[in-house]
Amino acid sequence: MYERRLTKLKAASYMFLGNILTTVIGMIVGVFVASVPGFIPFLIVPFLLCIPAARRVKTISSSKWITRFSSSAIAGILTLNVLCKLHHVRHWTRGGR
Domain extent at residue 37: 8-93
Is residue 1 one of the residues assigned to a domain? no
Which one is predicted more confidently, 38 or 31? 31
Average pLDDT taken over every residue of the chain: 79
Q: Is residue 20 part of a domain?
A: yes
Whole-angstrom Cα distance, residue 2 to residue 60?
Answer: 10
Q: In whole angstroms, what is the distance from residue 15 CA to residue 87 CA?
A: 29
pLDDT in tens, 63-94: 888 888 898 998 888 888 877 776 666 555 66
Region class of 89: left (phi > 0), else alpha (psi between -120 and 50), else beta:
alpha
Residue 3 belongs to a domain = no
This prediction has a pTM of 0.52
Please tell me the total count of domains within the chain. 1
- Whether 70 is in a domain gets the answer yes
